[in-house]
Amino acid sequence: MMAGKKFHGVIPPVSLIFDEQGGLDKKGMASVIDFLIDSGVDGLFFLGTGGEFSQMSVEERKEVASFTTEYVNGRVPVLIGTGSTNTREVILLSQHAESVGADAVVIINPYYWSLTEENLFAHYSEIASSVHLPILLYNFPTMSGQDLNPEFVLKLVDAHDNIVGIKETVENVAHIRDMILTVKGKHPDFSVFSGFDDHFFQTLTLGGDGAISASVNFAPELAIGIYKAFKEKRFDEAVALHQRMALMPTMYKLDSPFVSVVKEAMKLRGLDISTHVLPPARSLGAHKIEELKKILIQADLLENMPVK
């Protein structure tokens, strides 16, 4: 494992802000970045699922990586998603992220072909050998169609010291448990992050390192509060916050892709941003926005507005 590159805590998969023509809204993006940093996040992950990377061209993704890394300017670690259906493109994007000063790259496995374990290992090995940056794997089998199992991940970590963590967006908490026991058991500095909001507290209790959760975009006080309370052994407070955060997945069911839901929640909570999304995602209809408001009220997130 690489020395001194341990990632931990609350790292939001940042929603990207676009203008009505689909271009990057740099002013809106800057306000979101400042809000999240001021809220106390431990890093920022750009170009993840909620960052709409799958709807963007290579040049658009490079623009986002360049702008966000420059604007953050070292205030917190910047992680850039560089996953793709082909190895050459991942290498290109990862080398670009390294050249603009990103702190790590996050790489989902190819999401068109179902690869043999041998070919998947070669895919990640070629990428790991092409950059000096730390790499976090991104396990989202619902989207990629292929699970990164703990034994496979251990082989990668054994072979490449710059593979330093994983985002586990998986349905079963037992998978996270096994990842912690199998990989962290041998490599204690390997970072295991939960992806789903309602798995964060359990991930911490199992020995995991943090959360990369969409709700941090509009309710950072929940995940950050859970993390701080857990670390300070204020477990009653952590559980109470977890019960509120566990309501978040119900809102993501309002639309698919869910990116418009997150942006509307950000706006409802006071962030003055464009909620434009890139197709095939579509704007959220008025009826669904009303349903979203009900969920936010149930989670006590409309009476406690963090943004003025």
Q: What is the DSSP letter of 215?
A: G
Q: List the catalytic residue out of 27, 112, 205, 294.
A: 112
Q: List the catalytic residue out of 62, 124, 138, 184.
A: 138
Q: List the catalytic residue out of 167, 184, 227, 275.
A: 167
Alpha-carbon span 211 to 198, nearest angstrom: 10
138 labelled catalytic: yes
What phi-psi label fits residue 40: left (phi over 0), alpha (psi between -120 and 50 degrees) or beta?
left
* Cα dist from 165 to 79, 191, 284, whole Å: 12, 4, 34
Q: What is the DSSP letter of 6?
A: -
253 labelled catalytic: no
Q: List the catalytic residue out of 49, 68, 69, 82.
A: 49
Alpha-carbon span 59 to 269, nearest angstrom: 32
Query: Which alpha helices (DSSP H) does the chain contain, by range?
Result: 26-39, 58-72, 87-99, 117-130, 141-144, 150-159, 173-179, 200-205, 220-231, 235-245, 248-252, 259-268, 286-298
71 labelled catalytic: no
Alpha-carbon span 258 to 184, nearest angstrom: 32
231 labelled catalytic: no
Residues taking part in catalysis: 49, 112, 138, 167
